[in-house]
Amino acid sequence: MRKLTLRLFAIALLFSILTYPLSGALASDFKREIVYQIITDRFFDGNTANNNPSQSAGLYDATKTNWRLYWGGDLQGIQQKMSYLAGMGVTAIWISPPVDNLNTNIPDGGGNPTASYHGYQGRDFKRIEEHFGNASNTWTDFDAMVTAAHQNGIKVIIDFAPNHSTQDNAGEFGSLYDNGTFLGNYTNDSNGYFHHNPNIAGGGWDDRYQVQYYTLFDLADVNQEHATMDGYMKAAAQLFQQHGVDGFRIDAVKHVTWGWEYSFANSIYTYGDSFLFGEWYQGNTSDPLYHDSYKFANKSGISLLDFPLNTAIRNVFGSNSNFSDIDSVITAEGSNFTWKEDLVTFVDNHDMARFLSINNNNNRLHEALSFILTSRGIPCIYYGTEQYLHNDTGGGTDPYNRPMMPGFSTTTTAYTLTNRLSALRRSNPAIPYGSMTQRWINNDVYIYERKFFGSVVLVAINKNETTGYSISGLNTSLPVGTQSDYLTGLLGGVPITVGSGSGGNNPVNTFTLPAHTVSVWQFTEGSAPPEIGSIGPTAGQSGVKTTIAGRNFGTTTGTVKFGTTTATVNSWSPTQIVVTTPSVTNGNYNVTVTNSGGTVSNGIQYTVLTAKLIPVTFTVYNATPTQTGDYIFLTGNTVELGAWSTTWDGAVGPMLTPNYPNWFLNASMPAGQTIQFKFIKIAANGAVTWENGANHTYTVPTSGVGYVNVNWQY
């Protein structure tokens, strides 16, 4: 029996490898996707047999009145709705954490039962939750769902929560299992699998040490620097890759050890094609840790959910703020995030009131949806948005933002809108890869242009419910002539007439933008030199495959260069090339594509790592004197150490000092390499002080985790 299963698994694996190219674009070119976020328990009950499994009996509420119990939705339910999703233009789904979750009921303050129906209390990261799959916690339903998704051209992203297991003070007290074998729990933690600190509270939410090492909402905080936990989380993620997942939404990335996450991402990318984005909650670009968020996104290989833009979207479309709120976030993030087109944009999610609960106006919902579907970033639509789902109890926040799907109509305006703009994202590269420039703005009107070489998309939104605006003085890069609304009037859009100008500024004849309308005008460039719009992953050591995406690469294989070194090409199509990172000195490289005719593309940045990454905890004792606002950083001789950079963004850090004057930091380092490093002080005014003496040296282990403890050299 066992043997047969293994053999079937091997055949299935071979089959999926052989059919891989059929699945089209790789996950590492994610900018062309439309993501749909599903709360698995609340989407569709495809199998009633798993509603009340014996090992966790009593957590199901058939009446759907207790919002904190399971309501029956499952993986089979998602599988049965694949064609509904495909018809909407959805090309990727993000599902709830599918791993085996807390089995017990933990009553709330009022004595009502609650369950981990949302999936954020994992107990065994290598098995599937019985309410979502079957009572044996096997992969059968998960695999079937992934297969169905791929057959429908839909990628699968799982929510993965490496920060914590279950609640530390009730229920199962954080107990973790490794494919059924007990590993440990929070209460008797002689192995040190968990951090034992208070809950993050008050000013702690802005404190780098506390956000990473304190406890998030009583959830047992996993110590990822422990070799067992490090190996466990990486193996679990890899298991999901083996079962076909295309990407990971990493829960609470701000609360997991930041440096460790670089090695987590590297582990996933070393294994295979994937796309990673994390939940770094923050209100806006003035957040005290905003700088840390973009440094993290620029270096870790993990993109982020765009929370600052989300706030602006809700303010503008929900509360009628000025469009300048959105425009200024786009500008600020545009200069801070290296891979801004990989940011995942959204109107609402499972942790905030649905849009219609803050403004019950479908026009505004359509406008906000149109905005994320056409602006910079990868749009993510919360399930039910297309059915105008909302429940306003308690303001519509958690758990009332997670109602059961009310139905699956394929004729709503929001459903059709998403389908059309999904097609445009596939056909016109300006949407996934292009720049974003504001062309005309006032409180109510936002006209912005997306541009990728000669391809252009111009979008005009008028959110005023009653007033049309006369638009004069608008310029565009669209070609001369009449441009019709790509949405053919679905949201009341109008045509424009473009005249002849120069320098990408063709004047648009004065026209009227009617109240509550969205117009989309577009032009897709014909043949042209090769144009690169994307590379992913953005960093990797020799041997790691990376995907270059764009246009006009040609059907005949040409060459790809990292600086001046030619890389091995694994596959080549007019829009997508997979190459192997060559064996070159670590550092940042300009990657170019030369087509078979010898024409060279634009360049895109890629970081060649020294070796696969291992998490190392660096401690430097007695690093004084520092004053408030001064920080100790780490710098050294490889790209992972910042290549001797002495800037805030270039060096590794800032380090953490819960026990001043000792400072520590977990950072991902090249396996098996002897590194040279020093600690520096970067003062509040930017002045740099090096420690004295010779460089420190350390040989990073080839696997597991590392520790280095040294004294600051005076």
**141 or 333: whose CB is closer to Ca ion?**
141
Task: Give the shortest CB-159-to-ligand NOJ separation in angstroms.
Answer: 8
Residues 19-48: x/- map of binding to Ca ion (CB under 5 A)? Answer: --------------------------x-x-
* 690 is a contact residue toward ligand NOJ (CB under 6 A): yes
Task: Give the shortest CB-347-to-ligand NOJ separation in angstroms.
Answer: 15
CB within 8 Å of 665: residues ≥ 6 apart: 259, 617, 618, 634, 652, 653, 654, 655, 656
279 is catalytic: yes
45 binds, among ligand NOJ, Ca ion, none (CB under 5 to 8 A by kind): Ca ion
Q: Which of 279, 287, 342, 449 is catalytic?
A: 279
Report 146-165 residues binding ligand NOJ (CB under 6 A): 161
Number of helical H runs and strand E runs in the chain: 15, 42
Judged by CB under 6 A, the residue of 251, 273, 341, 531 near ligand NOJ is: 251
Report 664-683 residues binding ligand NOJ (CB under 6 A): 678
Residue 402, token pair as written in the block: 């997670």
For residues 683 and 665, give the distance between their C-alpha atoms in angstroms, rounded to a whole number: 18
HEC secondary structure over 375-412: CCCEEEEECCHHHCCCCCHHHHCCCCCCCCCCCCCCCC
φ and ψ at residue 464, rounded to 5 degrees: -70, 130
DSSP-assigned states of every residue in 193-236:
-EE--PBP-GGGGG-HHHHHHSBBTTEEEE-TTSHHHHHHHHHH
3-state secondary structure of 613: strand
Binding range to Ca ion, per CB under 5 A, among 71-79, 95-103, 511-519, 534-542: 71-79
**47 or 91: whose CB is closer to Ca ion?**
47
Q: Which of 251, 327, 333, 342 is catalytic?
A: 251
**Cα 496 from chain centroid (whole Å):** 36
Residues in contact with ligand NOJ, counted by CB under 6 A, come to a total of 12
252 binds, among ligand NOJ, Ca ion, none (CB under 5 to 8 A by kind): ligand NOJ
* 415 is a contact residue toward ligand NOJ (CB under 6 A): no
The residue number with the shortest CB distance to ligand NOJ is 120
Task: Give the shortest CB-179-to-Ca ion separation in angstroms.
Answer: 23
Residues 276-295: x/- map of binding to ligand NOJ (CB under 6 A)? Answer: ---x----------------
Judged by CB under 6 A, the residue of 31, 150, 243, 350 near ligand NOJ is: 350
Residue 132, token pair as written in the block: 């979502």
Task: Give the shortest CB-342-to-ligand NOJ separation in angstroms.
Answer: 19
Task: Give the shortest CB-705-to-ligand NOJ separation in angstroms.
Answer: 24
For residues 148 and 249, give the distance between their C-alpha atoms in angstroms, rounded to a whole number: 20
Report 617-646 residues binding ligand NOJ (CB under 6 A): 644
State the Cα angle at 513 between 422 and 90, rounded to 5°. Answer: 10
* 348 is a contact residue toward ligand NOJ (CB under 6 A): no
Asked whether 267 and 233 are in contact (CB, 8 A), the reply is no
Nearest Cα to Cα of residue 224 among 209, 213, 208, 210: 213
For residues 570 and 547, give the distance between their C-alpha atoms in angstroms, rounded to a whole number: 10
Residues 510-529: x/- map of binding to Ca ion (CB under 5 A)? Answer: --------------------
Task: Give the shortest CB-101-to-Ca ion separation in angstroms.
Answer: 14
Nearest Cα to Cα of residue 207 among 683, 654, 706, 627: 654
695 binds, among ligand NOJ, Ca ion, none (CB under 5 to 8 A by kind): ligand NOJ
**23 or 212: whose CB is closer to ligand NOJ?**
212
**118 or 155: whose CB is closer to ligand NOJ?**
118
Task: Give the shortest CB-557-to-ligand NOJ separation in angstroms.
Answer: 41
141 is catalytic: no
Task: Give the shortest CB-678-to-ligand NOJ separation in angstroms.
Answer: 5
CB atoms within 10 A of CB 504: 13
Residue 283, token pair as written in the block: 């209100």
* 545 is a contact residue toward ligand NOJ (CB under 6 A): no
For residues 353 and 376, give the distance between their C-alpha atoms in angstroms, rounded to a whole number: 23
CB within 8 Å of 306: residues ≥ 6 apart: 333, 343, 344, 345, 346, 377
The two beta strands, 481-483 and 303-304, are unpaired
- Spatial strand order of the sheet with 517-523 comes to 435-441, 445-452, 455-462, 517-523
Report 103-132 residues binding ligand NOJ (CB under 6 A): 118, 120
φ and ψ at residue 108, rounded to 5 degrees: -80, -175
Judged by CB under 6 A, the residue of 112, 596, 695, 699 near ligand NOJ is: 695
**45 or 129: whose CB is closer to Ca ion?**
45
The residue number with the shortest CB distance to Ca ion is 74
**401 or 581: whose CB is closer to ligand NOJ?**
401
* 252 is a contact residue toward ligand NOJ (CB under 6 A): yes
Asked whether 450 and 524 are in contact (CB, 8 A), the reply is no
The two beta strands, 662-670 and 613-621, are antiparallel
**128 or 219: whose CB is closer to Ca ion?**
128
Task: Give the shortest CB-113-to-Ca ion separation in angstroms.
Answer: 18
Which of the residues are catalytic? 251, 279
The residues of the shown chain that bind Ca ion, judged by CB under 5 A, are 45, 47, 50-51, 72, 74
The residues of the shown chain that bind ligand NOJ, judged by CB under 6 A, are 118, 120, 161, 251-252, 279, 350-351, 644, 678, 690, 695
